[in-house]
Amino acid sequence: MRISHLMAQSKVTSDMAHAREVRDKAASQISSGKKITRLSDDPAGAMEALRARRELQRAEIYSVQSQDAVGWLDNYDSLLSQFSDRLLRVREVSLYGQNTGSAGPDVSDALADEILSIKTELLALANSRYTGKPLFAGAQNPASVYNASELYAGDSTPYMRNIAPGISMAVSIPGPDAFGVDGSGTQLFQTLTILENQVRTANAGGITSSINNLDVARERIETNRISVGVKTTTVEAVRTQREVANETLSRQISLVEDADLAQASIEFNSAQTAYNATLATAARLFESSLVNYLR
């Protein structure tokens, strides 16, 4: 079959366009480091990368909430540890006051003043805040969680954090859960008030009873510390699992989108060579066509 000059020109023009397209695509991959810059480059791969990115975005939301949960729990762990340590000192002082009735009112007053000082310190800790929110007030935001009368001003609503899909955790501790219900007989601050008065009056029998109530209050503090520790471990485990999943998603995106620079360089050089060769052929062909036309 005879090939006309027009057919040859069309073929050369098509080859030039293809070589230029391959070259430009390889150049784009080399400059951007990505093999997918448009949806049309790889529709299936682009959709897979898009789904992976959406998963990473959702994971970021859970990461922020988990970080916030750890912040709350770390604050509780520190505060409850201080409560536990200071209550041990109160117990020590109370036992000493129980056995020094004959030492005189000055000693009793000094011991009672120390208990009062510790109670004031613990009330300040009970009114602690994190990110502007009172730690022990539930969903409320009173100026003082425990007022001058040592009564609770919050509620029992927990502060919830979503740390993973389908996993919501209460990360707050309402005051009554940590320090006892007002008027219960073992409410911490009321127990300290009674204990202070009994030590000041050297009431040995009353001191014994109040020490028992103090032990119940401290046991409640320790129970909350254990709960905080368990929750912290859970959050950290979930965060670790999510980090592993995020790394997998990131690798998945990289495999789909990232260009093989070595391969892209080879394709660029090959396409450039093909383009130059086709260009030279076109020059000869078009020159021949012009000569034939002039004849």
Domains belonging to the chain, first-starting first, are 52-253 (1.20.1330.10)
Confidence of residue 234 (pLDDT cuts 50, 70, 90): very high
Looking at the predicted structure, is the pLDDT value of residue 49 above 90? no
The bridge status of strand 129-130 relative to strand 167-170 is unpaired
Looking at the predicted structure, is the pLDDT value of residue 226 above 90? yes
pLDDT at 218: 97
Beta bridge partners of 152: 146
How far is the CA of 33 from the CAs of 28, 36, 216, 251, in angstroms?
Answer: 8, 9, 65, 15
Confidence of residue 87 (pLDDT cuts 50, 70, 90): very high
Looking at the predicted structure, is the pLDDT value of residue 114 above 80? yes
Identify each DSSP E strand in the chain by its residue range. Answer: 129-130, 133-134, 160-164, 167-170
Cα 254 from Cα 126, distance rounded (Å): 49
Q: pTM for this one?
A: 0.71
pLDDT at 98: 83
Measured from the Cβ of residue 75, the count of other Cβ atoms closer than 10 Å reads 18
Across 169-198, average pLDDT = 95
8 Å CB contact between 133 and 141: yes
8 Å CB contact between 269 and 30: no
The bridge status of strand 160-164 relative to strand 167-170 is antiparallel
Cα 252 from Cα 16, distance rounded (Å): 35
Half-sphere CA count of 269, side-chain side, radius 13 A:
5
Q: Which two tokens stand for residue 84?
A: 């536990």
8 Å CB contact between 46 and 243: no
Mean model confidence pLDDT for the chain: 80
